[in-house]
Structure 1
Amino acid sequence: MKRRIVRAFTCAVLLLAGLSSCGPKEPGTTPEAPLQWELFGKELGGHWKEAEMLHSGGVQQETDGHTLKAGSPMTGIVFPTWEKDGLPLTSYRLTYEAMRVSGKDFFGSVTFPVGAVENCVTFVLGGWGGSQVGISSIDGMDATMNATGSVQRFEDGKWYRIRIEVTPETLSVWLDDRSLAKADISRAQLSLRSGEIDRCVPFGFATYGTEGRIRNCVVERLGK
């Protein structure tokens, strides 16, 4: 009994100091399980590879991200070790910043997994002539056809912040903290638009005939 009292007192002191949590652990988790990943940071920054796209414009690594030079038509980078590195497949938040340096088409489109590495979609940023955004594809319909699509205005040389949240039921997208779309995917068929975008599976960025910059890419587990 004395040991229990001493342990309880010690836990209380540590909790007040913010040094420990002595309560029961959530089933299926470990104290070491990360809650956030900086994909362009020191630990994972070296895991990126240039996607093997025909007539790629090339990729230049920056201190906080990458520049994707204009390709003919596409340039991309891929993070092939997503599952191996223990990143989540659902119930996660993705944030990044993108800039169109020059060109007139998508400049920071991201392909990401939804529930499995074999089940990916793409958030199109500035496609179809420079203004289309949305998810490709849902139930066989790309970003120009499904309810997530919209037309936005983008300027060269300006950074835009994108936030995407993936859950088993929904896909939600924000642009500069402004809600763009929220799709019910609980019964939807998700897929990629045909073409070289599949070189970005399971996670990657791409541009189309356009030079773009990507930085500050962070993935976080969502709460309970």
Structure 2
Amino acid sequence: MGMLSIGALLCVSCLCILLGIPHLNKDHFLMKSIRAASIIASLSLANLCAMATDGVGQDKSAPPTKPQKAAVTAQIELEDAPAAKKEAKWLPLFEKNSLEGWESTNFGGEGSVEIKEGVLTLGRGDPLTGVHTKKKDLPTDRYEMRWKAKRADGTDFFAGVTFPIGKDHCSFICGGWGGGLVGISSINGNDASENETSSFRDFKNGKWYSFRIRVDNKVLKAWIDDEEVVSVDREGKSFSVRAEVMPSRPLGYCAFQSVVEVKEWEYRVLD
């Protein structure tokens, strides 16, 4: 019932009083009519409230219903939630046309070293050619490195990266011992040909390969072309480098009797 029904009932009551209908207690009828109208008005108001709750004819300025409150609360919680941590940015280890902060490593018998348009070229050494950094602000733990390299000429390792692992150092060797050995030198005194990281791969001259090393608190990992080739737990193990690449510490790159090109050598700190 709506306001129209209330008005009609009141009109009937007044009409009865005015016409003087016999046997009708006018005062009693009027009080009953007013009481009924009051009840009808209350029911109508309740009906309107129910309609508003259901979203029918709801005033947009009215307070939100329970579902709306839940949505608003969820939105606030989402906005207040901490943003997902972004991974650290990859940073270049050398400049496009400069080896500032780096030196040609004095192995004895090393070949030429030059960089042009972001490509580091190592000439054939007898036996080694390489570079090492003099920078003091590079990470020693919880970091990643990646780079691309190709062996333009030669038959031995073309990606020999010596790097820090906590307070120690070790080397990731790719293409050694005749051109195909992959592994970490050294773990518990055993080099890449003698420990659990040892594997073999057919590297083609003139082809670019992608490499990545990850040093975290528990595990040392390495990849070639996104294929994991090294995964070794650090706990209970000692890491070291072979005597001939000691000059590559703390971070260096070298190749054995090969002409090599290296580019996009970058690092980032892990969270």
TM-score bracket, normalised by the shorter chain, equals: 0.7 to 0.9
Which one has the largest radius of gyration? 2
CA-CA distance at 1:140 after TM superposition: 0.6
Which of 148, 153, 157 is the matching residue for 1:106? 157
Say if 1:87 and 1:44 are closer, same or farther in 2 by CA, change over 3 A.
farther
SS at match of 1:198: helix
The equivalent of 2:56 in structure 1 is none
Pairwise CA distance, 1:185: 1.1
1:40–1:215 Cα contact (<8 Å) kept:
no
- C-alpha separation in 1, matches of 2:132 and 2:193: 24
What is the one-letter code of the residue matched to 2:133?
Answer: F
C-alpha change, 1:220 and 1:112, in structure 2 (3 Å) is: same
What SS does the corresponding residue of 1:143 show, helix, strand or coil? coil
SS of the counterpart of 1:53?
coil
2:115 maps to 61
Q: Kindly indicate whether residue 266 of structure 2 is the aligned counterpart of residue 218 of structure 1.
A: yes
2:222 is paired with a residue whose SS is: strand
Higher relative CO (CA 8 A, sep ≥ 6), structure 1 or 2? 1
Equivalent residue in structure 2 for 1:38, among 92, 96, 101: 92
Q: For 2:247, what is the secondary structure of its paired residue? A: helix
Paired-residue identity, %: 34
> Which residue of the other structure, out of 96, 112, 117, is the alignment partner of 2:147?
96
Matched with 2:226 is 177
**What secondary structure, in the 3-state scheme, does the structure 2 residue paired with 1:46 have?**
coil
Number of residue pairs matched by the alignment: 188
- Aligned-partner Cα distance in 2 for 1:44–1:122: 24
Aligned match of 2:173: 124
Equivalent residue, structure 2, for 1:51: 105
Give the match for residue 139 of structure 1.
188
Long gaps (5+) in structure 2: 1-78
Conservation of the 8 A alpha-carbon contact between 1:110 and 1:122: yes
**Contact 2:158-2:258 at 8 Å conserved across structures:** yes
Other-structure match for 1:191: 240
Contact 1:52 1:199 (C-alpha < 8 Å) held by counterparts: yes
- Structure 1 position 62, deviation (Å): 2.1
- Cα deviation code 1:75-94 (max 9, x no counterpart): 1101121xx2x221111010
Deviations 1:145-200 (A, max 9, x none): 111110001011110000100012111010000110100112201100122x1111
For residue 41 of structure 1, report the CA deviation from its aligned partner: 2.8
Contact 1:168 1:186 in 2 (8 A): no
Quote how far apart the aligned CAs of 1:36 are. 3.6
Point out the structure with the larger helix share: 2
Amino acid at match of 1:164: I
TM-score by length of 1: 0.79
User: Between Structure 1 and Structure 2, which shows a larger proportion of strand residues?
Assistant: 1
Partner of 1:152: 201
Tell me the residue number matched to 1:20.
none
Distance in 2, matches of 1:137 and 1:38, equals 27
| TM alignment of 1:79-94, pairs within 5 A | 79-81=133-135, 84=136, 86-94=137-145
Shift of 1:35: 4.8
Q: Secondary structure at the match of 2:243?
A: coil
Question: Cα RMSD (Å) of the superposition?
Answer: 2.1
Structure 1 residue 61: Cα displacement: 1.3
| Structure-2 change in CA distance of 1:44 and 1:189 (3 Å) | farther
Instruction: State the SS of the aligned residue for 1:199.
Output: helix
Q: Is the 8 A contact 2:186 2:239 kept in 1?
A: yes
TM-score by length of 2: 0.66
